[in-house]
């Protein structure tokens, strides 16, 4: 029996309205037990505006809210009655459950580590982000949890990324690559060189060697391993480039009458392409290595993203991905 899906109703730019709408849509689609955590009065007002019956949810009232610019340590010390802190506390009491938040990423990670704890043997949890590029999705791990890493961390990231890919994206024995400045062995800084040596001899993964940035877009690897600083810069760069690309395409297609005719013909293919690159389709990033499922959604998530974040959480529960990481992490 899976535990509850605990949703931070106050997290993100469009909380609580879009969060509650997404939670309700997820309830209708997947029928999970959902706990909304946040200011009860604001939750009830949003539900009234949406004409949603809150009886399908359990509500955990909180008096504090975490701002996007709050420092994680301040949240831990001074905002223990916030939706993020209380939500991860509930997760710690229901490790077979899941926590979903579009709020302050640092606060989610810090609260999850304090309350739910790391899985035994995990050196550092990591953020696994799905990028919809090439023929199959690519996972970047770590995408921001650990700016400073040791080679042993990257080895664990590779294993956790493999388990995540197999169980959430349903592709067995994915290719694991190490993000680097060159493809040859011996390239990169000291961290990259030492991590390469560890991954090369790690029989539990299908290591395909170093991956340059451009190869990421060619499907050279299913899981790309890196430190959190590099991974976050890469992720934000890809997001910015995608936005620029679609903006430029739009300007071209509305520039003159002929272009507008072409746009009408190509409307469906471009719509499908945009959907493929829509972060809301993927719901959020999985914080792997924590004793419980934690999904971190984009700060600008609307209802569709929250619904899909719940879907990812439910898939994680069904596949028992946390148990599988716990079983293999000490190899």
246: number of Cβ within 10 Å: 14
Q: Do the Cβ atoms of 198 and 154 come closer than 8 Å?
A: yes
CATH number of the 1-122+289-320 domain: 3.40.718.10
pLDDT at residue 280 greater than cutoff 80: no
pTM, to two decimals: 0.90
Residue intervals of the chain classified under CATH 3.40.718.10 are 1-122+289-320, 129-280
| Residue 103 CA to its chain's centroid (Å) | 12
Rounded mean pLDDT, 74-99: 96
Which residues are CB-neighbours of 196 under 8 A, at least 6 positions away? 178, 180, 185, 186, 188, 209, 210
Mean pLDDT of the chain: 91
Token pair in block for residue 9? 């109703």
**Which residue is associated with the tokens 């961290």?**
191
Token pair in block for residue 154? 């990257």
Top CATH class of 129-280 equals alpha beta
**Which residue is associated with the tokens 């700060």?**
299
51: number of Cβ within 10 Å: 6
With bands split at pLDDT 50, 70 and 90, how would you rate the model's confidence at 256?
Answer: confident
50: number of Cβ within 10 Å: 16
- Per cent of the chain over pLDDT 70 is 95
């Amino acid at each position: 029996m899976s535990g509850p899906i605990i949703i931070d109703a106050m997290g993100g730019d469009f909380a609580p309205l879009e969060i509650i709408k997404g939670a309700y849509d997820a309830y209708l689609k997947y029928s999970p037990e959902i706990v909304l955590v946040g200011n009860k009065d604001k939750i009830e007002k949003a539900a009234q505006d949406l004409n949603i019956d809150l009886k399908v949810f359990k509500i955990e009232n909180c008096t504090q809210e975490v701002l996007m610019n709050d420092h994680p340590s301040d949240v831990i010390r001074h905002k223990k009655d916030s939706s993020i802190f209380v939500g991860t506390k509930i997760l710690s009491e229901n490790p077979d459950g899941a926590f979903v938040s579009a709020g302050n990423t640092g606060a989610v990670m810090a609260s999850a580590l304090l309350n739910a704890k790391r899985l035994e043997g995990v050196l550092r949890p990591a953020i696994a982000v799905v990028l919809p590029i090439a023929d199959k999705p690519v996972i970047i791990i770590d995408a921001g949890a650990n700016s400073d890493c040791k080679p042993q961390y990257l080895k664990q990231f590779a294993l956790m990324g493999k388990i995540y890919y197999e169980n959430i994206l349903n592709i067995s024995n994915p290719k694991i690559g190490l993000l680097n400045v060159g493809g040859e062995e011996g390239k990169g800084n000291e961290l990259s060189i030492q991590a390469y040596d560890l991954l090369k001899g790690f029989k539990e993964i299908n290591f395909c060697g170093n991956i340059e940035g451009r190869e990421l877009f060619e499907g050279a690897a299913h899981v790309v391993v890196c430190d959190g600083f590099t991974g976050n810069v890469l992720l934000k760069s890809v997001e910015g480039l995608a936005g620029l690309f679609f903006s430029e395409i739009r300007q071209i297609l509305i520039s003159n009458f002929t272009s507008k005719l072409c746009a009408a013909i190509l409307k469906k293919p471009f719509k499908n392409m945009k959907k493929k690159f829509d972060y809301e389709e993927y719901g959020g990033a999985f914080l792997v290595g924590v004793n419980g499922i934690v999904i971190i959604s984009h700060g600008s998530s609307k209802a569709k993203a929250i619904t899909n974040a719940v879907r990812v959480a439910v898939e994680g529960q069904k596949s028992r991905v946390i148990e599988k990481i716990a079983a293999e992490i000490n190899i």
